[in-house]
Structures are given as structure tokens and as C-alpha cells.
Amino acid sequence: MRISKLFGKTQRETPAEADTVSHQLLLKAGMISQLAAGVYSYLPLAWRVLKKIEAIIREEMDGAGGQELNMPVLQPLELWQQTGRDKAFGKGMLVLSDRKERKLVLGPTHEEVVTSLVSHNVQSYRDLPLLLYQLQTKFRDEPRPRAGLIRVREFIMKDLYSFDADDDSLAQSYDKMLQAYRNIYARCGLPATLVEADSGAIGGKDSHEFMALVESGEDEIIYCNSCGYAANVEKAQSIKDGVAGGKPLPVEEVSTPGKTSIEEVAGFLKVLPSHTIKAVFHVADGKLAFVVIRGDLEVNEVKLKNVLRCTELRMATEAEVKEAGIVAGSASPVGIKGIKVVADDSITTGVNFVAGANKPDTHLRNVNYPRDFTADMVADIARASAGHRCPTCESKLLSARGIEVGHVFKLGTFLSEKLGAFYVDASGVSRPIVMGCYGIGVGRVLAAIIELNHDNKGIVWPLSVAPYHICLCPLFMENPKVVAAAESLHDELEAAGMEVLFDDRDESPGVKFNDADLLGIPLRVTISPRTLEKSSVEVKRRSEKSPELVPVEGLAARLKELIEV
RNA sequence: CGGGGUGUAGCGCAGUUGGCUAGCGCGCAGCGUUUGGGACGCUGAGGUCGGAGGUUCAAGUCCUCUCACCCCGACCA
């Protein structure tokens, strides 16, 4: 490919809208162009990278026994109503009307469609296990697209759906996918860490995410260096060290004028925050929930949402709290009535807590569960954080940030039951198919690769996904020898099956070198009068500083070596 | 949806208390001179100043409404 003909120009200045490295470099390199919030065109260079990532994914999916298919983008809303997941996705699902006023959605994912499809085509255990996958554009009306290709509304996703006869078989399919995913990331030059995850709107039981550890990532990961425990903070657990025991003492009312926050109350009464109980208020699907947790801990809203089995959860407003007759700052589960109380299990791990008294400027000492109050639900709803102790080995937990580049779920049978995907087992009994699903955001993988493979000059593509292997840079184009040598090398290398980006522009060396660096082509071949004097050219790896001089005759062979390593 | 911000040429920006044909740098086109890490000179093209309404002799500038985009939070591959 000649750069003079390449669609998509590099820019000298970084577009102002971007503040994430991958976003900046993609725009600056002329690889993507935004059409609307979270909606991008992929220009030829980015598209080539994307196709390479897709090819790696296809190989690994096929290798694991997957069969590729293609499904509709437009899906009847009724299909989603059958599984109830229209509610789980809520406004994230874009609903359209056709000319007959029939409601269709732009598919945010394809479990419903594929399950329905499978229900018509699978009747027997002999048809299982079955692995189907797609590489398609999906649309989710994200509330806030951001960071270029990392969080978009329209995106290309590989989704594989597994169909098994039972849980054991599902476990095998799941493991097979985990291995395939590890292969994919390794081949893409993208180190990805497996972490436990919450299944969110997709639903299901077990779930794991693959995280590319990057400071700018939007997810927080809690992990343990000694035993390898790692989980998304949404899911992560930690040991809630019990506070000193002792005998429950009688409840005692104390005056705490003007003290409302945990720090103030604890400081005033000279107790640790972990000896207090705090109350926070959430609205779950429109209903107020009174949430109780030990004072030193924070509520994990994802866990809370799961416990409450609600689809929408938010903090209550001051007005809502007031309206419910709650005294903010001194709220207490003691004596509360008519509101659902959800307690973190941490409140069962100590005695003689300080809690609110439901009276202004007043708190209670020596509050004990369940002597003094009860909860409608007691569960782990606390947010694990760095410094807490590991739930499996008790070492100190650490925290890191990451980009979610893959997410796998054991779905179970809830979709197959609702959509009638049953099979007949060996003994003639009809059973629901056990499902799993396994997604990778291809554009996000591309962006994550850049996040982890760049320097101050630009992108440093791993060879496996680079848009081209070689950037051929002739300098001093008015010199006929240079042009002749470049043209002939270009033809020779392409004929040898190498992917060459030929900088045939009449630009100064600085411009060519800077563009080659920005575009991140792994190998740069420089041809100039100076190198031709020695019948040689210069070969430089993008990832290294110094070039090597290679004789023109040996160039193709040398490059082949470098590419095939 | 809540909070913050920005809309002026393809990109980055300036534009004073409202005042004349709306500027600068980069990029783009032509010519010439240069050039091993983003060269220089000359010439030139490119704008309904996000949109609508209003105030005014006069609006990029003031007022009202609106739209888009970015950032921080609630959602996810």
C-alpha cells in the first residue's frame, strides 16, 4: 500500500476531544473518525487491525469447536419480553418502530435470538454440546460513551454461545473457552488477567472477566498476590475482621450535638468507626431501602442490587429520606418500621455498636444485633478494598485498574426455559439446555492493545495485529536511485507475502520517520543515497532504538526472519 | 439523568467595553529553494462564527431557547 494513496491522514496536533492515550493515537494516526457519541468509522488502517484481531479470534473459536454464524441486528421486542431481559437492559436497548408500528430493538446482544434459533434446531442430547459464535455489530445505548473505542455504543463483538446437556458439560465448555481466551490475548500481545465478576444484566451464575491492567481503565480489580485471588470490585469479597467481643451491655442513649457523619460521631464518642453502624438509603425500583453497614465499610451497590433483586438502584435524595420520616445523621435500624432493612453481615461480627437513635443530635451506645434490631435481609453487601484481607488466604488485598476486554458467563437454563430450548436426554426425558456465553469487544481489544503498547512517539503494534509489517521509507525521492530501489524492494517484499506500507510521498525524513513511529508499524526499512552507497538499507524495529544495516540482496530473507519470530 | 465544560476553515486556537472586507499556526493547492527526526519563501483556495429567535443603527461578541460534543458520577464487551 502506498501512503500517498492511503485513505486517512496523520495529524500533527492531537484532537482536543481525546484524553485517553488510545483515543488520541487512533485519531492522530487517522485510524478512526467519530460520527456521533460512541459511534465511529474505522478507516483502512484500523480496519486492517480489527480484521487481524478477528482472524485470531476466529482461529481460536474454530479450534475450540465453535461454528460461526450470523444473526439479525433487528430483533423483535417481544423476544426480549419473553425472557424479561428487556427490563434488565432498560434504556440501554434502543427500541425502534417499523412501518407497521411493530417494535424492534437494535440487538444489544444475541442470547435471545440464538436460543430461539437453537430451540428450533436442537432436539436431542446427541446434538450437544454445541458452540455457536458470531462476530457482529451490536448496539447499546450507553448512558456515557467515553475514551474513544473503549466505551462506545455501536461496537463489534465476538459472542460465543455454548449449549450443553448439564452443568458438568457446561463446566467443560466454559474451561475450553477460558483457554481459548488466554490464547487470543496472548496472540494479540495483550496481557489480560482473569478475574471473578458480577454477571450484571446478562444474568447467570458464575462469571469471569478478562482485564487488561491499565491505569486509565474504568474497572477496579481487587487482587491478592499471595494466593492469586482476583475479582472485579463489584464482586470482590474481603474478610470483615471482627471487632473486639465482650458482653452485650444495655443500650444507652447519648447526646451527640451536631455530629452526623461516622467520623464525627466516632471521634466524639472516642470509638473506632468499626464500632459504629451506619445507615444509608437507596431507592430500589422506586422503593426506599434502609441499608445498614458497619461504619468503617462502604456499600457495594452491585451486591446490594443483587440482594434486592431490583433492576434500578440509586441513592435516595435528601427529600426522599426526609419524607420517609428518617432523621438523617442519626438514622438507625433500631425501632425502624415500615421500611425494608438490608444489613451487611458485618453488623453481626461485633457487639456494643454505636448507632443512631432516630432523634436529632442523639446516638445509642451498645446496640446489638439481633437483640436491638432486626433486618429483612442480612447479606454481604460491603465493598472490598485494598488493605482488607483476602477471603481465601487472609493476606492483604491490593487494587488495580483495568479495561474489561472479555466477559464469560455460565448462564444456566433461565433463557432456554423461557424460550423453549429443550432437548431429550438419553433416557427420553425433556430437559432445558444449559447455556453459557462468552464475549469479546473487538474494538475495545484494539484500543487496549494501544493502551499497553505505545510510547511518546505513537503506537507500537505487536506484529500479530499490526496493520502492516513493514514501513518502507525511501528518503530523498528526487534521487532516481532511491526511487528505483524502493520500487523494486516494494514489489519484491510484497511478492514474498509481506505486508508493506510504502511511504512514497515526497516528504522530509523527519515527517516520514515520525509518521512511521506514530502508525506503529513494527519494522521500518529506510532507503537513502547513504545506505545505497553500501548496497544496503536500514532496518529498524519500532520497539528498538538502533537500526541494523542489511544488504539489499538479503533484505527479504532478513525481514522474513524478523516477521516470523 | 445529576454536576462541570466546549462549540469560530480539515486540525489546534485567538477574536478587547458590541464597530468596518472574521484572524493566527498547522494542514491543503501551485511554483521555487531545501531535507537522515515534523524545512523555508512566494502565491492561492477554504467560514451561513453549532442552530433558532430576540435586543441594537450595528451581534462571533449581549439576552432567551435549543442542539451537539467532551469530562466527573449511576451502566457494560
pLDDT at A542 over 80: yes
Pair A482, A404 in one domain? no
Q: Could you tell me if A103 and A217 lie in one domain?
A: yes
Q: State whether the beta carbon of A509 lies below 7 angstroms from any atom of strand B.
A: yes
Query: What is chain A's mean pLDDT, rounded?
Result: 89
Domain boundary (A348, A379, A410) is at A379
Residue A51 shares a structural domain with residue A148? yes
- Residue A541: inside a domain: yes
Give the pLDDT band (50/70/90) at residue A345: confident
pLDDT tens-place string over residues A351-370: 887 777 777 777 878 777 77
Q: At A203, is the pLDDT very low, low, confident or very high (cuts 50, 70, 90)?
A: low
Residue A107 contacts strand B, CB under 7 A: no
Tens of pLDDT, residues A410-422:
999 999 999 999 9
Nucleotide nearest to A209 (CA to C1'): B77
Angstrom distance, A522 CA to B70 C1'? 32
Residues 6+ apart with CB under 8 A from A262: A273, A276, A278, A295, A296
Residue A138, pLDDT > 70, answer: yes
Write the DSSP string, A222-278: EE-TTT--EEETTT---B-PPPP--PPPPPEEEE-TT--SHHHHHHHHT--GGGBEE
Return the SS3 of A564.
helix
Asked, for residue A494, whether it belongs to a domain, the answer is yes
A408 or A307: which leads in pLDDT: A408
Sheet (strand A523-527) strand order = A500-502, A470-474, A523-527, A536-541, A548-551
Give the residue-averaged pLDDT of A159-163: 97
Q: How far is the CA of A332 from the C1' of B54 (A)?
A: 55
For the ranges A105-109, A277-281, A490-494, which has the lowest average pLDDT?
A277-281
Q: Does residue A490 belong to any structural domain of this protein?
A: yes
With a cut of 90, say whether residue A15 has pLDDT above it. no
**For residue A86, how many C-alpha atoms fall within 13 Å in the half-sphere facing its CB?**
16
Whether A529 is covered by a domain: the verdict is yes
On whether both A444 and A473 belong to a single domain, the answer is: no
- Total domains in the fold of chain A: 3
Q: Is it the case that residue A244 has pLDDT exceeding 70?
A: no
User: Distance between CA atoms of A443 and A43, rounded to whole angstroms?
Assistant: 13
Please tell me the predicted confidence (pLDDT) of residue A165. Answer: 96
Q: What is the CA radius of gyration of chain A?
A: 29
> Measured from the CB, is A537 under 7 Å from any atom of strand B?
no
Do residues A349 and A445 share a domain?
Answer: no
Pair A407, A368 in one domain? no
Q: Is the pLDDT of residue A491 over 90?
A: yes
- Choosing from A379, A414, A442, the residue where a domain stops is A379
A515: domain CATH number is 3.40.50.800
Structural domain of A198: 3-236+399-450
Give Cα separations from A328 to A321, A334, A358, A359, A461 (angstroms).
7, 14, 8, 9, 54
| Residue A366 to residue A351: CA distance in whole angstroms | 7
A515 touches strand B (CB under 7 A): yes
Is A355 found in the same domain as A427? no
Please identify, among A450, A476, A493, the residue that sits at the C-terminal boundary of a domain.
A450
Max Cα distance, chain A (Å): 98
pLDDT in tens, A316-334: 777 677 776 777 777 777 7
Residues A361, A231 share a domain? no
Structure confidence at residue A391 as a pLDDT band (50, 70, 90): confident
One domain for residues A44 and A175: yes
Protein footprint on strand B: which nucleotides are under 7 Å from a CB?
1-2, 10-13, 25-27, 34-39, 68-77
The distance (Å) linking the CA of A14 with the C1' of B41 is 28
**Does strand B come within 7 Å of the CB of A301?**
yes
Q: What is the mean pLDDT of residues A418-430?
A: 95
Nucleotide nearest to A477 (CA to C1'): B35
A89 CA vs B75 C1’ separation (Å): 9
Give the count of beta carbons closer than 10 Å to the beta carbon of residue A200: 16
- What is the phi-psi region of residue A73: left when phi exceeds 0, alpha when psi lies from -120 to 50, beta otherwise? alpha
C1' of B6 to CA of A16 (Å): 10
Residues 230-269, chain A: which have Cβ under 7 A from strand B?
none
Q: What is the CATH number of the domain that holds A264?
A: 3.90.960.10
Q: What is the pLDDT of residue A204?
A: 66
Is the pLDDT confidence value at A265 over 90? no
What b-and-e string marks burial along A415-443, b requiring 16 or more CB atoms within 10 Å of the CB?
A: bbeebebbbeeeeeeebbbbbbbbbbbbb
A11 touches strand B (CB under 7 A): yes
A345-351 average pLDDT score: 79
Which of A23-37, A64-78, A232-246 has the lowest average pLDDT?
A232-246
The CA–CA distances, whole Å, from A368 to A246, A270, A297, A312 equal 11, 18, 18, 31
| ipTM rounded to 2 decimals | 0.90
In this complex, the answer to whether residue A37 has its CB under 7 A from any atom of chain B, a nucleic strand, is: yes
Chain A 53-82 contacts with nucleic strand B (CB below 7 A)? none
Q: Could you report the per-residue pLDDT of A220-236, keeping only the tens digit for each?
A: 899 899 998 988 888 88
- In angstroms, the CA of A12 and the C1' of B45 are apart by 21
Taking residues A297-325, report their average pLDDT: 76
Counted residue by residue, chain A has a size of: 565
pLDDT at A242: 67
**Are A138 and A66 in the same domain?**
yes
User: Could you tell me whether strands A340-344 and A287-294 are parallel, antiparallel, or unpaired per DSSP bridges?
Assistant: parallel
**Are A201 and A130 within one domain?**
yes
Q: Is the CB of A52 under 7 A from strand B?
A: no
Residue A201 has pLDDT above 70, yes or no: no
The nt closest to A314 (CA vs C1′) is: B74
Q: Work out the average pLDDT over A528-533.
A: 94
Strand pairing report for A536-541 and A523-527? antiparallel
Task: Return the DSSP state at A505.
Answer: S
pLDDT score, position A300: 81
Residue numbers in A 175-214, CB below 7 Å of strand B: 200-202, 209
Our measurement of CA A508 to C1' B34, in angstroms, reads 10
CATH number of the domain bearing residue A197: 3.30.930.10
A219 touches strand B (CB under 7 A): yes
Q: Is A188 in the same domain as A303?
A: no
Residue with cell 421486542: A77
Q: For strand B, is any atom closer than 7 Å to the CB of A543?
A: no
Spatial distance between the Cα atoms of A114 and A136, rounded to a whole number of angstroms: 13
